[in-house]
Each structure stands twice: as structure tokens, then as C-alpha cells.
Copies of this chain bind each other. A is one copy, B any other.
């Protein structure tokens, strides 16, 4: 089987125009070139497609059948290359994203919306889960991109870590809002909403308080910072939360913002990471999305550091 697309294209053109010379003109080739293409095509198929009668070509019934196949193949090929071009231009494709709760409500939807605005053919799966689940999904290649708390190193996951500087959430009418930077001393003994148990972020916060000689009063222990802001709004506590959660607050609480955020010193981090399946290259689409995701994470991390 040594056919070529050129032969098929030449054959199609000959069938359309009814003559080799005409087809040659349409294809910007010389007549002998097309003649040869047809001859070798017939030889490879083992059957004559045209009858050479009195110096002219006459289509044989077999040619009609072969034309249908030819059209189908060329059409498919054409469509396929077009699709690949679309994929190359990021106009088409599939993107499966799994993200942690802090980013799921506003940040990630906003990024996805911006990203796909000019890509009507791109399909997106966007799932919110706890970081541990996201790890599994990425490791098992069920998702292309994950945003989660930094997992333990694993051969199955490629990570790009971001140390998000946590900031202090407090009521705008709180006296502490006067300060441009909040320290453990400021919050000494005051009720806090924190992450639970042995979360690295909690440990780091406790360490900051301890080394500053401040009293650490964890009143609310939560799985993540999202619900904490309501508690702060109610005046029940303070919260040293990650900037993604803080940023979300501005995105949904557009008017009458009861809360404000202040940098916290010393820096306490929440370590998050962009996750990708290892041993499998990212699609062009993934890479492009990760670019804007990275940029947004860096921007959010800066947003509250004045």
C-alpha cells in the first residue's frame, strides 16, 4: 500500500473536470505529472479507473465508487488537519481542572471564564475538592491541572509551589484596622479562627505567636478559611487567612465591605501548588492555562502586601 494523497487529490480533480489537462491546470501541475499520478494510482489499485478511448478519458464505473471513498478520505483528512490547527491555536481542546475550596468560588471560575472567552470550542471540567482528593485525581491522570495545598512529594505528580503570605482579616471598625501591619502582639489573647489540628499553617501561626511572646487563642478550628470570614464579620474572632480566600471576599462582597485585610508579620505561609500529572506532557491548552493561573497566584499574593 503505497498510495499518496497527491494521487487521490489528482484523481478527484480529474473526476471533477473530466480531463487530465484540465485537472493539471487546476492543480498547478503539468499534464504529464497528473497523467503519471493517475497511471501509478491505477497500477497500485490494480484496476483501471478510466478507459482511454480515442485520446480521451472516460470514467469507468469503478472510478465512481473509488471517488466516493477518495472524497471521504480527503474530507476526513482535511477536517482533521483543521482541527489540529485549532488545537494549536488553543481554540479547541479539553481542560480538566480540580481546585481546592479557597479558589473554587471566585478565583478559578474567573480565570476559566477569561480563558475560554475567545475559545468557544474548548471544553472545561472544573471540580472542587479537598486537596487530598485533588492529589489523587492528578496522580491518576483523571485531571490535567490541580490547585491544592502542596502535597507530599510524589513521583506521580509534578508540582509548582507558591508560598502564599497569609494576612489578617478583621472588621473595618476594629481599632486594629488603623494599623498597616498586624503582628502577633496585636492579636495576643484575642480569639482566632484557624485551621485544624496539625495543619502546617496552624503550626506556623502558633510558632509566630510563640516566638513573639504573644498568647495564641484558637477559638474556631476549621477545615479551611472560607467560613472564617463570616465569623470575623460577626466580631467573634480574627483570622490569619490565605490571600485567595481574602481575595474572594472582595469578589462577592462588592458593596458594604465589613471586613478589611492587613499584612501579617512575621510572614506565615499557606503553601499551595499547581499540580500536573508527571510523566505526561501538558497539552498546549494546559500550559497556557497554567501560565495565567501562575500569574494570578503571584498577583493575589502581592495584592495585600502594601
- Interface positions of A (Cβ within 8 A of B): 1-6, 44-47, 50-51, 53, 58-62, 65-66, 69-70, 72-73, 76-78, 80-81, 83-85, 87-88, 93, 144, 279-284, 286
Contact = CB atoms under 8 A, between A and B. Distances in A.
Nearest to A45: B84
B5 A3 contact: yes
Contacts of A45: 81, 84-85, 88
Identical copies of this chain, number: 2
A40 to B, nearest CB: 13
Q: Is the interface of A mostly helix, strand, loop or mixed?
A: helix
Contacts of A59: 280-281
Nearest to A46: B88
Given A60-B281, A69-B76, A76-B69, A84 B47 contact: yes
A279 B66 contact: no
A47 B88 contact: yes
Given A60-B283, A73-B73, 17 more contacts: A1-B5, A1-B81, A3-B5, A3-B77, A4-B5, A45-B84, A46-B88, A47-B84, A47-B284, A50-B281, A53-B281, A61-B280, A62-B87, A65-B83, A69-B83, A70-B80, A73-B76
